Structures are given as C-alpha cells and as structure tokens.
Structure 1
Amino acid sequence: MDEQALAAWLTLSSIPKIGIAKLNKLLSLDAPQNIVEYSTEQLQAIGFSTAQIRHVKQGNKAVDDCLTWLQHDEHSIVTAMDKLYPPLLKQTKGYPPSLFIKGDVRALSSPQIAIVGSRNASPEGMETAQYFAGEFARQNFVVTSGLAIGIDGHAHNGALLSGGQTIAVLGSGLNNIYPARHRELAKRVEKQGALVSEFWPNTTPRPEFFPRRNRIISGLSAGVLVVEATQKSGSLITTQYAAEQGREVFAIPGSIRFANHSGCHSLIRNGACLVEDPNEVINEIDSLVNWSKDNQPTLFDQVIETEELPYPELLANVGIEATSVDILAQKTHIPVHEAMTQLLELELSGYVVAVTGGYILKGRG
C-alpha cells in the first residue's frame, strides 16, 4: 500500500463510531484514497454523519505522526487490506483495521500458542510458564502473550531463551511500552519476534484497552494456555474471546488451597483441556494446525488471490462462527430468497459450508 492509500485508510479507520464492518462496506464502494476526497454531499450520501464528515475534511495530525513513525526500518503498519495481515486474526469478529508492528511482520502469520495468567503469579507458576513457552518455541510455535508482569513476561522470556519467536500484544501504542519495567524485555521481543498493537504509536495505556488487547492475543493464536488465574483474572477475558473465536483453551491445574488456581479449575470444569505437560498442548495444536493447512490454507500460508470473489458483500459477512441466512440478509440488505441462492452458489464453489445455525467460511473463503 502506498503512502497516499495508507493515509486515507488511517483517516477512515479513525473516524468516530466506525468499525471494520463499515470499513469493508466502504471498500466495496471505492478506494480509500478516493473516498477521503468525496464532497460533503457524497459523504452524506454514503451515510456519514456531520461529525464524521468533519473528521475527514479537517485532516488528522495523528495520521502524519503514524507515517513519520513508519519511516523507521523496524516499524510496520499492516492494514486489513494487506496480504500480510494475519489470516487467523482476520477471521475473528471485529478484527482491528490496522496493526502497528515493531519487528518481524511474518511472525504474525505463523502458528502461535498464547500463554496468559496472573500478574501476581507464584514462583512455581512463573517457572511453569517459562518452561512451557520454551518447549513450544522448540517445536517452532510462536509464543504470544501480553507483556504483563508475572506469567506473560516469563512466557516471553521462555521463548526467547529457547531461541524461538515470541509476540507481545500491547494495550498501548508502541511508543509507550507498558509496564515500564518490561522495556528491556520489549526490546528483546522486537529483535526475536514482534511487538504488536492496534493502537496508534503515541497512545498511552488505559484500563479499557487491555480487554481489547486480549482479543488480539487469542485471535492470533490457535490455542490459549492459562497457567495461573484467579476467578476474576483478566486472563479469563482472553479465554472468553478464545471460546468465541473457536480457539482451544488449555489450563494447568494446581492446589485447591491456592486462589491463583481457582480460575484454571473453573475453566477445566467448563470444558478447557487439563494439561500437565507441554506435549499435550503441542499434540492438540498440531492437529488443529495440520487440519487448518489441509482444509483452510489461508490460515497460515499467505495466498495471493488472483480471482475476483463472487458475491463479495455476502461473503464478507460470513466468518468462522455460524451465521444464519436471515442475519446475513439483514446485514447485506439482500432479500432472503436471493441470499439463499447466492449462498448455495458459494457453497458449491467451495467458499462457504452449511452447518448447524447457518454458514461458515470454508478453505477458499
């Protein structure tokens, strides 16, 4: 994407009350660099409010700051329109319009296992996280976590010490590493993996950003391992996202006398896989990854699309979670009978598959 197109995309994606679904609809109308040049009347015609039009017309210094930030050799901005956008993340609901990255962009499209857990972890918990991460890294899995104190930091360190790659997803802009005590760890992650954020580089950390960060951690990964967590741990937010995204959830059990294990025990009671050895996770994830490669090559292999997708508006609203015909028709404003006809053609062409509750994407989708 050239600088003009990127600036236009950043402008559109930063418009108040606009998400990826609306952005995708805009893309079906015109290129971003053309839309930002629309007249006020044209913007009104495609549904922009007065405040949104003002945002487009007045310019945005933050966009210029992003473009300046991008000049650094190790900095990247990957948009949802780019081939390098992580395909597994793109199949999740509400995926970020843009990702800001320091380090190896390609790591984001490699098979990943997330490790999360308590900030106030026990010495045994931190040792366990580091050990599991090291074993995952030795089996060529990227270890993904949130750079937090406790389990997260030791997971990153375990992967680094094993010579593997690790990804840290931040709840702040990449110019504001949080927590500050992990700045040196962040530098090591950048050299041997990547730092990632959906927030623009100069964004400061805020409490509400961290749950949003968690959906990216699970969205990038084939599975999520919880090492230690209380019943109210933020790590359980990650597992909620993982379940919604169709990811496997693993939990390590512990003493019933230790509150930091209560969250893991709750997860196990509700269907998470109890694991005691890294190979138990690896074997399960290997099966998922191999199935994905056989059946959905776009999950982990960058495929250059050369064909025009049929019924793109309808196809854009089908994901990895079952969506009914009625909902698809409502979202696309296509009559139900016409949507059913289009879905049948998409199914016959190998783009979607009918399941209980509606349709999901298949390999070619």
Structure 2
Amino acid sequence: MRDTDLRPPDPAALLADWIRLEQTPGVGPATVRRLLAEFASPSRIFDAGYRALCDHVPAPVARALSEAAAPAMLRQIDLTMNWLAQSGNHLLTLHDAAYPPALANIPDPPPLLYLKGWPELLASPMLAIVGSRNASLQGRTNAEVFAQALSCAGLTIVSGLALGIDACAHLGALAGPSSTVAVIGTGADTVYPARNHALAHRIAQEGCIVSEYALGTPPLSANFPRRNRIISGLSAGVLVVEAAARSGSLITAQVAAVQGRDVFAIPGSIHSSLSKGCHKLIKEGAKLVESAADVLEELRMSPLATMVIAAPAAATSRAGQAVLDAMGYEPAEPDALAVHCATAPGPLSLVLLELELAGHVERLPGGLFQRIKR
C-alpha cells in the first residue's frame, strides 16, 4: 500500500466533490440519494465510470458525472470555498453528523445545506410558522406573539423570510430565547426580498439562515415552493397563521402532513379571505389553535414558559371604547356601526381614526374596519 493511501481524505476535496455532484445538471436530491446508496460517496460516484453509472442514471447524466469538471463548475467550487472562509458561513453535507436527522428522513432531503449563523440551532426542537405575505395587522400580531411565546417554551421558530407572517414570526422568535431559522429560496449569499435585508442580517447574527441552493442562485419562482419541504422537514409541526384559499402556506402544510408532521391553524373571521386557507386545513384535520398552549399540548411540551408580557395598549376614549364594544372582532362596515352606536358618520370617522392610530383597529379593503386583539 502506498503512503498516500494512508493519509486522511482532504476535507476541501471532499466538499468539492459534494458541490460538483449536487451541481451536475440532471442530478437532483432523489438522484443523489440513489447514487450514494450504490456508490457510498461522491468521489466513488465520479470514479465509477460511464458504463457503471448508466445502470443508475440517464446516459447524459452518466456522461456529465464521468467527465472532468467543467471550468464553470470549478469556478463555483472556488466561490463556495471562499465563502466558507468567511466567519459564520457553513456547509453541511447529507453525510455530516450535524445534518438534522428529521430533515435527512424526508423522501428528498437536500444533499447540501448552506448555512449563515449558528448551525447548532438545527439540533434544537423546531416549529414552523407560516402564512400570507399580504397579512392583516391581526395576522402579523398573532404571528409575532405566538412565535415569542413558543420561543419562550424552548422551540426554535422556522419560517421562510417572506414579507408578512414569515417576517413577523422571525421577529417574535428573536424576541424570545430560542431564536429562529430562515429557510430561503435563493443562494445563501442573496437576500430576498430586499426589504428584509436588515432582518436577514439579524438572523445571520442571532439565528441561522438555511439554503439548499448554490451561491449566486437568484430568486426563481420555482424554488420557493420547493424550499417549503425543508421548512416542514426541519420542524415538529407547522402552524399556519393566515392563508387565503390558494396560498403557498397551504403547500407547506400539505407537505408537512405527508412528512408526518403536526399541522396547526389559527381560525379567523368567516368574512375574511385570509381565513379561508386556515379553515380549510381545520376541516381537513389540522388542530385548531387559540393559544400557544394548544400547540405545546399537542407536542407534549410544558406551557409554563410561554407567558409573554404584552405592551400596554394606548388609552382609549369613552367614545372609542363604545365603538370597540360595538364592533366585536368581526369586520365592521362604518355605516352599520354608526347605526348601532347611534352616532353620525362624521363623528364616527374621527373615532375610527383615533382607534386606528392607537393600534386598536385595522382598516380593511372595502372600507371595513376590524378590531385588533393583542
């Protein structure tokens, strides 16, 4: 045996083989898993030769795997190695001991996870919170409050860094002790949407950003539904806060159910389009959730640490309180409110403006108003 055969494998070379395998055209997560089951490692896949590979993959893929790496592939490997040299950046392979076991057991786990932040969070108990990008104020408030309460109970909150519910879930989780994980649909060196740049930077410092996509991958529409399987795959369950009847959040919930994860949904007004998706999930068997304790009960976790001290609400005038009492928590039409409160539309408009500025009500499409529960 040669002395060189006794040397341990070069970690950089091993990573380079993983990157090359994952980036080969025609090779997706399922193909990677099938090839690894047969050849054990990326290096052995590349050494297997065209004929042996043709038994497991189409001829064009076998040819790409058996030929030398193209210059563009080598540039991508160099880019990744330089990125890994920067503080806080990590790359997990499917064979790494730190790869999350729950994610490894889904049907098509990503071969590589690009991470920014704290990889240790991927070993903690996790719960996903997802919902509409065009969320109502009540929905955004619910996402933040639930995320903070569940973070206080020891759950790391997973979401997708989108506008609306996702962003509020991340913020609520960061306000608790257990932090947050953002699963993105771009390369880990890209922030999308740009409006969440400050939030992404904070998550990279205090939580963890996760991507299965190579560095430089732009925000392609097909990638976002696909990353949802990672959001649910990392998590013990998925809580849908608000979702329209045709919502990407429902895809996450459906994938979660297939993966054997618990699905939770917060109900809303029967008149709200953003409640339709949650109501559909509840009809199909999702657990109706009214408090963080409902989630923890299902997950068999202690609710003792979930108390969140809410900020005091702004003071309300006597007229404002009378309008709030008349509204209840359903969307209300101002003319009907004026009749119910026995007041003229002009004075009522001033009271509604006062309540909106104080954060007690939200103006909805169609001129409706809805009371906010905090």
Q: Aligning the two structures, in what range does the TM-score lie when normalised by the shorter sequence?
A: 0.7 to 0.9
Runs of 4+ more than 6 Å apart:
none
8 Å Cα contact 1:164/1:192 also seen in 2: no
- 1:14, 1:8 → 2: CA distance? 10
Structure-2 residue corresponding to 1:112: 126
User: Paired residue for 1:64, among 70, 78, 90?
Assistant: 78
Q: 1:53 to 1:261 in 2, by over 3 A?
A: same
**1:88 offset after TM fit, Å?**
0.5
**1:63 offset after TM fit, Å?**
2.2
**1:19 offset after TM fit, Å?**
3.2
- 1:47, 1:172 → 2: CA distance? 27
Structure-2 residue corresponding to 1:33: 43
Structure-2 residue corresponding to 1:11: 20
Q: 1:48 to 1:136 in 2, by over 3 A?
A: same
Q: Deviations over 1:238-293 (max 9, x none)?
A: 001001100100000111111101110111111000010001101212369xxxxx
Matched position secondary structure for 1:58? coil
User: Which protein has the larger Cα radius of gyration, Structure 1 or Structure 2?
Assistant: 2
- 2:172, 2:257 → 1: CA distance? 26
Q: 1:92 to 1:43 in 2, by over 3 A?
A: closer
Q: 1:25 to 1:214 in 2, by over 3 A?
A: closer
Q: 1:242 to 1:39 in 2, by over 3 A?
A: closer
Tell me the TM-score normalized by structure 2: 0.73
**1:218 offset after TM fit, Å?**
0.6
> Which residues of 2 match residues 1-365 of structure 1 at below 5 A?
2-27=11-36, 28-41=38-51, 43-44=53-54, 47=57, 49-54=59-64, 56-59=67-70, 60=73, 61-286=75-300
**1:53 offset after TM fit, Å?**
2.2
CA RMSD of aligned residues (A): 1.9
8 Å Cα contact 1:165/1:193 also seen in 2: yes
Matched position secondary structure for 2:68? helix
Q: 1:41 to 1:254 in 2, by over 3 A?
A: closer
- 2:272, 2:33 → 1: CA distance? 47
Q: Deviations over 1:109-136 (max 9, x none)?
A: 2110100001111111101100000001
Matched position secondary structure for 2:99? coil
**1:77 offset after TM fit, Å?**
0.6
8 Å Cα contact 1:96/1:198 also seen in 2: yes
Matched position secondary structure for 1:33? helix
Ranges in structure 2 where 5+ consecutive residues have no aligned partner: 1-9, 303-374
Structure-1 residue corresponding to 2:338: none
Q: 1:30 to 1:260 in 2, by over 3 A?
A: closer
- 1:125, 1:40 → 2: CA distance? 54
Number of equivalent positions: 288
Q: 1:131 to 1:80 in 2, by over 3 A?
A: same
**1:98 offset after TM fit, Å?**
0.7
8 Å Cα contact 1:16/1:52 also seen in 2: no
Q: Deviations over 1:310-353 (max 9, x none)?
A: xxxxxxxxxxxxxxxxxxxxxxxxxxxxxxxxxxxxxxxxxxxx
Q: 1:131 to 1:17 in 2, by over 3 A?
A: same
Percent of pairs identical after alignment?
43
**1:149 offset after TM fit, Å?**
0.5
Tell me the TM-score normalized by structure 1: 0.75
Matched position secondary structure for 1:286? coil
Name the aligned partner's letter for residue 10 of structure 1: I
